[in-house]
Amino acid sequence: MYKILRILPVLFLFFGSIAVADAKINLFPQPRYMPSLSFYDDNGNAYKLKEFHSDLLMAVVWSRSCGPCLKDLLHLGRFVQQTRDKGIEVILISPEKEWKNVAEKRAFLKRLGANNMVSFNDRKANFRDGMGISVTPTAILVNKNGEEIGQITGSIQWEDPDVIDYMLKLKKDVSEKLNQGKAADQQN
């Protein structure tokens, strides 16, 4: 029994590093039109991704029953603390059917240190399915114009300084492309 307990942390580190290595970043050559799919706040109000106007929005689609998602939420809470005032907004979207009530969801997110993000509900998986998401966690990356610029699929060490630097550089690049596009439009 003692040998098993000694090897568990090694297995966790090994498999944890695989989950991080398995994260896939797919940035699109051109921004994509965002489908008009709704998700809902805890009061039942409908929202669409194009309604957010952050320099870079990360809409993280996750599930309570997904181990990598729960691990991601621990890291995302720390990521948000470090990037909160730098133009990156993170929202969470989970299946509505997983929660008995709002209090249960809020308590769950608080235990994971993810209560510093706004959380939304996906009714009947319409949002997830409409976006073509088959793997969770998936972070949908959206520019200030409400266009999808890419997705990050799988678990990642969000609070790692290299990841934070990468995301801040991505936000800067996205903003610069939008500004270049606006300048080109004004010249024409």
User: Nearest to residue 79, comparing CAs of 54, 104, 60?
Assistant: 60
Fold of 24-178: Glutaredoxin (3.40.30)
pLDDT value at position 178? 83
pLDDT value at position 65? 93
pTM for this one? 0.84
DSSP tag of 88: E
Q: Output phi, psi for 67, to 5 deg.
A: -55, -50
pLDDT value at position 36? 92
Q: For residue 23, what pLDDT band results from cuts at 50, 70 and 90?
A: confident
Of 3-12, 18-27, 128-137, 164-173, which gets the smallest average pLDDT? 3-12
How confident is the model over 50-89, as pLDDT tens digits?
A: 999 899 999 999 999 999 999 999 899 999 999 989 999 9
For the chain, what is the mean pLDDT?
86
pLDDT value at position 179? 82
Share of the chain above pLDDT 90, in %: 76
Residue 158, pLDDT > 80, answer yes
| CA 170/CA 46 separation, integer angstroms | 28
Q: Which residues contact 83 (CB under 8 A, 6 or more apart)?
A: 164, 167, 168
21-29's contacts with Cβ under 8 Å and 24+ in sequence apart are 22/154, 22/155, 23/152, 23/153, 23/154, 23/155, 23/156, 24/152, 24/153, 24/154, 25/150, 25/151, 25/152, 26/150, 26/151, 26/152, 26/153, 27/141, 27/149, 27/150, 27/170, 28/148, 28/149, 28/150
pLDDT value at position 16? 35
How confident is the model over 83-131, as pLDDT tens digits?
A: 989 999 999 999 999 999 999 999 999 999 999 899 999 999 999 999 9
